Structure 1
Amino acid sequence: MSLRDHLLELRKRLILAAVGLIIGTVVGWFLYTPVYEALQAPVIDLAERDDALVTVNFGGLASALDMQFKVAIILGAIISSPWWLYQLWAFVAPGMRQVERRYTIGFMGVAVPLFFTGVAMAWLVIPQAVSILVGFTPEGAANVLDAQMYLTFAMRLILAFGLAFVFPVLMVALTWAKIVPARVWLKGWRWAVLIIALAAAIMTPTPDAVTMMLLATPMTILYFVAIGVGFARERQRARKRPALDDDAEAETSL
């Protein structure tokens, strides 16, 4: 494909992904109340456990409406993730052979569960993060959490965890499309581990190392698994190439 064709394909996939995001956002709008109640639950439980004034507060007249829009958009990204993950694969797939494009089901079968695994891990981290951060409140003082900051933090954390778990699948796709060889990923493993650790520290804003390791460890393992899958595919492709060359020579001689 020419550069122009790649750009047209990219525009097409972005438009389709945006349509899916809009539909997911509409669904997310109606799911806002139960999601908000679930995210507020750790705060309420903490207040009851410590008999302290800890609550989520909407500071402005339009804050609640604005927050519902923001949460609905992030929920839309999570709900529509199978759709935009497919668009991502479909953009990479033209660089592959026809037989390799048949692995679409395999890509989706791995990427989607990994994304939701990351979402589930973030959901488990949020109560611990709230407990640790609120625990720094001095005795006798109140902790009134700004709804905008708290809900934005929680939803971005959930989305970030999901994307972090999908990245290794993207690595495999780029290797299979011959865009980034597996040896390049392996050569940069030290930088990758450092970036993973920094990303885990940023995405888990709690002072304890355990929470950070809960994210960094599986991300690191998945990174090396992706490299292994990439090398296996390259070796398989190398074994098939001599046979293809022999067939081409035979046809030429005829």
Structure 2
Amino acid sequence: MAGPTWMRVPRWLRPRQGNPDGTMTLLEHIHELRRRLMIGVIAIVIGTIIGVVWYQYRIFGLPSLGQLLTEPYCRLPPGARLTLGNPNQCQLVAFAPFEQLALLIKVGVAAGVVLASPVWLSQLWGFITPGLHSHERKFARVFIGTGTVLFLAGAVLAYLVLTQALYFLVTVGGGIQITALRGEDYFSLLITLLVIFGVSFELPLLMIMLNRVGIFPYAKIKAWRRGLIFAIFVFAAVATPGQDPFSMLALGCSLTVLFEIAAQVCRVHDKRVLRESPWAGLADDEAGPSPVVSAAETSGPVEPSAPVAPSALERSSSVNGSAPQHWDDVT
């Protein structure tokens, strides 16, 4: 018996019945992609609503999202930040009437994407999985799980470093002036720093993936180690939005440590591949091992060869009583 109308799942959200062999037509692929995209978008919208409410109020006994995000700024000494109104309250500054509303929506959408990440990641995984083999699914799970942990680790490090970075930026003038930090500027700096640190922490995963497919072997990593480390610190100096030494050094040093860990993983992988290779220990001009034929394959009885039918040339020779000595004799 069908349930109430308001409880029925819309038709465009229902999964289609696939073929028994698991194959899908182009239209079925498009329908499946649309369905999963809509589920991900709905999850992000719900997460955004929760993020907007959480930005202003405490939920589930947790501090409000606004308090959590402004905590690095509020750790600054009172003399390093502009105080308006209540001197005991830590507040950012807004200079436009609609700036607070725009900031609320911006932070709410960012929180919604993060809160809904389990849903849209699972939908992405469900769309990709049918096209993968079993061993590819296993490696994909490992890489996705590792990538998520690395991104969160980078975001946490950026959050911890932000207080020192802000202190340097607002006190670099020697106390001659005081910084009136807008909420839009502060949250843009915070979100950009979180994204840059999180994405940069995917470096070891990228190295290992390139090494697995043979594009970036450990021999190249060892030969280019100094140049790659120098490039990491140059990237950290250019990518950090505040251009302060604390975030630059934190990003550069952490990426160097992750680079060395990934290099050792690549070294172990290349050693294992070389040990299992049948051409291990051979020079470039040496022949590889020949296939070994087992005794069971050669111990059987040898079949006699079938008689070969005489060719037309031999038949004509037998009729004439003499064999031609040259091809010209035949013609």
What's the TM-score once normalised by structure 2's chain length? Answer: 0.56
Question: Which residue does the alignment assign to 2:68?
Answer: 38
Alignment of 1:24-173 (within 5 A): 24-33=47-56, 34-46=64-76, 48=78, 50=79, 53-54=82-83, 55-79=91-115, 98-137=134-173, 139=175, 141-173=177-209
Question: Does the CA-based 8 Å contact 2:196-2:240 persist in structure 1?
Answer: yes
In the alignment, what sits opposite 1:217? 253
What does 1:181-220 align with in structure 2 at a 5 Å threshold?
Answer: 181-183=216-218, 186=221, 187-201=223-237, 202-203=239-240, 205=242, 207-208=244-245, 210-220=246-256
The answer to whether the 8 A contact 1:197-1:216 is kept is yes
Which residue of the partner structure matches residue 312 of structure 2? none
The higher-RCO structure (CA 8 Å, 6+ apart) is 1
Give the C-alpha shift of residue 72 in structure 1.
Answer: 2.9
Classify the secondary structure of the residue corresponding to 1:56: coil
Gaps (5+ residues) in structure 2?
1-25, 57-63, 84-90, 280-287, 299-331
1:78, distance to aligned residue in structure 2 (A): 4.0
> Once the two structures are aligned, what percentage of the paired residues are identical?
23
* Equivalent residue letter for 1:180: I
1:93-148 alpha-carbon deviations (Å, 9 max, x no partner): 978x7435423443344322222111111111111112111113564744211221
How many pairs does the alignment contain? 238
| Matched-pair contact (CA < 8 Å) for 1:204–1:212 | no
Instruction: Determine the C-alpha separation between the residues in 2 that align with 1:22 and 1:185.
Output: 46
Q: Are the structure 2 counterparts of residues 85 and 231 from structure 1 closer, same or farther at C-alpha, using a change threshold of 3 Å?
A: farther
**Against the structure 1 CA distance between its residues 236 and 205, is the aligned structure 2 distance closer, same or farther, given a 3 Å change threshold?**
same
RMSD after superposition: 4.3
Distance in 2, matches of 1:26 and 1:227, equals 43
In the alignment, the residues of structure 1 paired with residue 96 and residue 220 of structure 2 have an alpha-carbon distance, to the nearest angstrom, of: 48
Q: Deviations over 1:162-215 (max 9, x none)?
A: 111122113223332x1633248615444432332123223262543x542222
From the two aligned structures, give the one with the greater helix fraction. Answer: 1
Separation in 1, partners of 2:161, 2:201? 15
Amino acid at match of 1:29: V
CA deviation after TM superposition for structure 1 residue 156, in Å: 1.2
Q: CA offset at residue 234 of structure 1?
A: 3.7
**Aligned equivalents of 1:185, 1:80: Cα separation in 2:** 40
Distance verdict in 2 for CA 1:41–1:222, change over 3 Å = closer
Amino acid at match of 2:99: S
Q: Which digits, 9 at most, give the CA deviation of each residue in 1:201-231, with x for residues without a partner?
A: 23262543x5422221121121232233234
In the aligned structure 2, how far is the partner of 1:23 from the partner of 1:194?
44
Change (3 A) 1:84 1:193: farther
Change (3 A) 1:78 1:38: same
**Which ranges of structure 1 fall in alignment gaps of 5 or more residues?**
none
Q: Aligned partners of 1:41, 1:217: CA distance in 2, in Å?
A: 25
SS in 1 for 2:180: strand
Instruction: Name the SS of the counterpart of 2:181 in structure 1.
Output: strand
Distance 2:74 2:254 in 1: 31
CA radius of gyration, larger in: 2
The secondary structure found in structure 1 opposite 2:242 is coil
